[in-house]
Structure 1
Amino acid sequence: MTASSAPESVPLLDLKGVRKSFLGRTVLEHVDLRVMPGQIITLIGPNGGGKSTLVRIALGLMKPDHGTVHQAPDLTIGYMPQKLVIDPLMPLPAERFLRLRPGVRKEEARDALATVGIEKIAETPVQALSGGEFQRLLLARALLRNPRLLVLDEPVQGVDLSGQVALYRLIGNLRNRLGCGVLMISHDLHLVMSATDEVVCLNGHVCCSGTPHTVKQDPAYLRLFGSEADALALYTHDHTHDHHHDHDHKAHAHDA
């Protein structure tokens, strides 16, 4: 898998003034969202705050009632779903799971497994994988198209704390290696704040956005998350790699 050669000044995703309602209930109102190449953006917010709806709109799976959605020309997207249920009685090795996607060759599947560090479980049944291994398998699946944009819905769900740290580190390394943009949804305030470039706090509208350091001091963020937000003082966003898009900080690559 090779780094993207997309012009870094062109947004991968650019949503402006997005509004969406269901049965008269407004779920999103005046939402702007932009993802640049090489940028990790994380959507946080309460359940029902509109995060999943916004991602569906960004992916083109749902149309907004109002606003505009622009994707970069020929944008390839790798999507990692929040949940994927597999029949526990169906014998399905990890490599074969990846090859269920039409056109995927054995070599491509093996390469994707190696990229996320689980090449040794290629012949292991999916049902026997640990939580962390299964999440990495879903991430490998998202990488099969050599995407310019990764969209990850709760990528560390069902993984223990040390596994979560490793997965977020892996996601950062993939961004560095591939030059792709990353749009994540997360409910985990602590770890994700140290694994992202920009945070967008969503509760029907954008309550606040910016670098993790900026957002965790924003009154709107503190009102929304209350005492849970206080613990974030223990975490910092330590970066050392350079971004070539417009940011007010630089980020560091960490080894997986």
Structure 2
Amino acid sequence: MSLVQVDELCVTYGATPALSHVSLRIDPGEIVTIVGPNGSGKTSLLRAIIGAIKPFKGQVSHAHDLKIGYVPQKLHIDETLPITVSRFLNLQGGVTSTDISDALTQAGVPELEKAQLSQLSGGQFQRVLLARALIAKPDLLLLDEATQGLDQRGSASFYQQIETVRNTTGCAVLMISHELHVVMSASDRVICLNSHIC
């Protein structure tokens, strides 16, 4: 059974259509990448899947008890805030130190547990956000252009880590990317979106 089933999804902002009759499914354990130009509805699709926006028409169905992990494009943290990676990951509550170290290991940065958030490079911070999404042991991992601002080497390394995460945890991955040349090798399917599926 699919983890997520999207049927004839239409999303509008006022009179402006963002998504028009989009249908797709995400199956267990697969990596699906959404590509498309700016303004093509990629982020709107992710937001509809997590329930952050209400469809104008159509529907999104989830498998029973589906757990979703989400890695945003950016997360702005006050650089003067004195907080360690471990403390940041603990903000979700109900998290053990084992959960934190396991998630950081899965994200490929076990050495960052005691590091100050403000001292991290862009690539390290994205790995910490990945660890944050993995703490809940999701069935589906959503990534919204999670490598924006990283150089090509950093992006390639991040996507390799995503493939490793899928292989070790079995979770499905739905990611948005502009970097088709980088994601092709890590994806089972690539969907081109421009308000509809091309």
Q: Same fold (TM over 0.5)?
A: yes
Contact 2:141 2:172 in 1 (8 A): yes
Distance 2:48 2:106 in 1: 29
Deviation readout 1:122-179 (Å, 9 max, x if unpaired): 1111111111111100000000100000001112222222221111111011111111
Distance 1:198 1:154 in 2: 16
- Larger RCO (CA within 8 A; separation ≥ 6): 2
The secondary structure found in structure 2 opposite 1:194 is helix
Matches within 5 A, 1:150-169: 150-169=141-160
Instruction: Write the letter of the residue equivalent to 1:123.
Output: K
Instruction: Write the letter of the residue equivalent to 1:106.
Output: S
Residue 49 of structure 1 is aligned with which of 40, 43, 46?
Answer: 40
**Unaligned residue ranges in structure 1 (runs of 5+):** 1-9, 208-256
Q: How far 1:116 sits from its partner (Å)? A: 1.5
The match for 1:179 is: 170
Distance 1:121 1:56 in 2: 30
Q: How far 1:62 sits from its partner (Å)? A: 1.2
The match for 1:5 is: none
Q: How far 1:193 sits from its partner (Å)? A: 1.7
Distance 2:23 2:99 in 1: 36
Matches within 5 A, 1:1-256: 10-207=1-198
Q: Matched residues, percent identical? A: 47
Distance 1:46 1:176 in 2: 29
Of 155-164 and 189-198, deviating more is: 155-164
Q: How far 1:89 sits from its partner (Å)? A: 0.8
Distance 2:189 2:108 in 1: 26
Distance 1:49 1:137 in 2: 28
Distance 1:136 1:120 in 2: 12
Contact 2:74 2:146 in 1 (8 A): no
**Unaligned residue ranges in structure 2 (runs of 5+):** none
Larger Rg: 1
Q: How far 1:21 sits from its partner (Å)? A: 1.2
Instruction: Write the letter of the residue equivalent to 1:196.
Output: S
Matched pairs, number = 198
Distance 1:79 1:117 in 2: 17
The secondary structure found in structure 2 opposite 1:165 is helix
Instruction: Write the letter of the residue equivalent to 1:113.
Output: L
